[in-house]
Amino acid sequence: MWSAPSHVLVLLVTLGLTAAEKKPNIVVILADDLGWNDVSFHGSPQINTPNIDKLVHDGIFLNNYYVSPICTPTRGALMTGRHPMQLGLQRSVILGDAPWGLGINETILPQYLSELGYASHAVGKWHLGFFAKELTPLYRGFDSYYGYYLGAEDYIDHTGWAQQGFWGFDFRDGVDLDRSANGSYSTELFAARAEKIIHNHDTNQPLFMYLPFQAVHSGNPPSTGANPLEAPKKYTDRFPHITDPNRKLFAGMVAALDDAVGNVTAALERRGILDNTIIIFSTDNGGPANGFDMNHACNWPLRGLKATYWEGGMRATGFIWSPLLKKSKRVSNQLIHVTDWLPTIMHVAGANDTYNKTELYGMNMWEVLSNDTPSPRDEIIHNYDKASGAIRMGDYKVIAIGPEASYTKSYGGWYKPESMNVTTLDLTVKCAERNESLIACNHTTSPCLFNVIEDPCEFNNIAEENPQLLKSMMKKMLDFAQVSQAPRNCPTEKRSAPVYHGRAWVPWIEIPEGAKEFRACKPYMADLAEEQVYQIRDNINF
């Protein structure tokens, strides 16, 4: 485990930076599918995460921080500071054989930071589209890229599949396939590359590192002959008290992630730049518990899981650490959204008014975090699509579940970790008492309303007692949906199949040179019924 330095160099008098002042290094670590109760700083007695805990205890634990319920929307929001509904990313995730992604018309974080003199590196999972090369990291402001484009794949042989059964290799060093990675565990590969970048970094230039780990997402499905959960024995051996084999494998994956965080932090210290670094850690969505998505995360005692609008799907494990924070070693209960990271990072990087803040959903939270001031944010529109969604305003949350929101309907329970009889609740969440006199949340007939400050476990539906509040919150969510971008989703395509591309996943569409925007399908197609989409997917005129 790394140890924080005994003294802190005060490099910045304020963070209203001028060009002559030294800009802070910024490291954004994104875990994949990490559940609320999969880390020991949230009180998990099952999985010990000492390196992550050390950063949290010396930094700021974000106890009221939200992301999207699935992967692609969160990553798009993080990279742009814009809401997934503004980006057309509000519906599902990008499949390997589907030609859509984060629009090339969007400016993303490394592009902004390069204008401020930063060296920018991405190491890990992309999942923002790759059907054309212009969507991939080296064409979007990163100076280097090491990782994979798909949403999921094997941790060791780095092959992944797609909806139509297509199968191929996906691991890159830059734009080139790196088949030498075959046989090595991705969490260790990504940590080693991050350490190498830090070691070779010119400290006269500020560093931005985006480190989206594969861990702890499931790999390939059992139908392919794979084990969806993969961790070397040296990690699973740390958990003899976990008897459930799937939960033990999951714990090993978390342990590998925790070691990687410690190794990267130690590399920053060895390079002599930790004192002037900001580390942001987040999960991309809630944990897939109870075998959902072939995984065994835990969000206990929060309700629901990944891909749902319950708190377990969106209330994120996250923290910020830096010696530059004036008031650290505390729990933050200020309301924060994943879109807030871009304007916050731009502020500490000295951007001032060099970018268009009016187009952002995110807000600058540096003063909020550093000085423990009230958050300017009093609402979060979580999402709205196909008559389903959720919105948070103040202490309250509305959840509306339409006919197609099968996950939110089917996975609205409270899921304890396997191999453990839970007798005490999470240290950071205190569930309310159940009020049996209230009408239970019947999402098939009307939206539900919860006070998620008093009732974070979403036991008590108070919609009937607060009709005007429910109505105003629904209107706010629907008004935002009305001015949002149409979903960018496109039908899958056989011409994407790796069998046509050397058995690897590669870009397969050429965007016209100089194009400012490009869609591989018409927006209205994304709103067709799913069976219609699959009927016409192979008959599109491109």
* CA dihedral of 57, 312, 290, 243, whole degrees rounded to 10: 20
pLDDT at 131: 98
d(Cα 231, Cα 215) in Å, to the nearest integer?
10
Q: pLDDT per residue over 33-65, tens digit each?
A: 999 999 999 988 899 999 999 999 999 999 999
pLDDT at 409: 83
Q: pLDDT per residue over 451-468, tens digit each?
A: 999 999 999 999 999 999
**What is the Cα gyration radius of the chain?**
22
Tell me: pLDDT of 512 over 90: yes
The values of phi and psi at residue 398, to 5°, are -105, 135
Residue pair 25/206 in contact by the 8 Å Cβ criterion: yes
Residue pair 27/280 in contact by the 8 Å Cβ criterion: yes
Of 127, 217, 337, 443, which one is the catalytic site residue? 127
Tell me: pLDDT of 538 over 90: no
- In b/e form, how buried is each residue of 205-216, taking b as 16+ CB within 10 angstroms? ebbbbbbbbbbb
Query: For strand 144-148 and strand 172-173, is the pairing parallel, antiparallel, or unpaired?
Result: antiparallel
Tell me: pLDDT of 173 over 80: yes
Tell me: pLDDT of 282 over 90: yes
Tell me: pLDDT of 16 over 50: no
- The residue-averaged pLDDT of 304-332 equals 97
- According to the 3-state scheme, what is the secondary structure of 82-116? CCHHHHCCCCCCCCCCCCCCCCCCCCCHHHHHHCC
Sheet with 396-400, edge to edge strand ranges? 379-385, 388-393, 396-400, 448-451
d(Cα 450, Cα 469) in Å, to the nearest integer?
11
pLDDT at 535: 36
| Per CATH, domain 381-480 is 3.30.1380 | no
Q: Is 490 marked active-site?
A: no
Of 71, 298, 457, 521, which one is the catalytic site residue? 71
Tell me: pLDDT of 3 over 80: no
Tell me: pLDDT of 537 over 90: no
- The residue-averaged pLDDT of 75-96 equals 96
Q: Percent of the chain having pLDDT more than 90?
A: 80
- The residue-averaged pLDDT of 505-528 equals 84
Q: What are the start-end ranges of the H helices in 292-333?
A: 311-314
The fold for domain 25-377 equals Alkaline Phosphatase, subunit A (3.40.720)
Q: Where are the domains of the chain?
A: 25-377, 381-480
* Residue of 377, 422, 392, 417 lying closest to 310 (CA atoms): 392
Chain mean pLDDT for the chain:
90
Q: pLDDT per residue over 148-172, tens digit each?
A: 999 999 999 999 988 667 899 999 9
Q: pLDDT per residue over 198-257, tens digit each?
A: 999 999 999 999 999 999 999 998 888 889 999 999 999 999 999 999 999 999 999 999
> Which residue in this structure is represented by tokens 């319920």?
69
Q: Is 127 marked active-site?
A: yes
Tell me: pLDDT of 530 over 60: no
What residue type is 11 in one-letter code?
A: L
pLDDT at 355: 67
- The residue-averaged pLDDT of 345-368 equals 87
Q: pLDDT per residue over 393-410, tens digit each?
A: 999 999 998 777 678 888
Within this chain, domains 25-377 and 381-480 share the same CATH topology: no
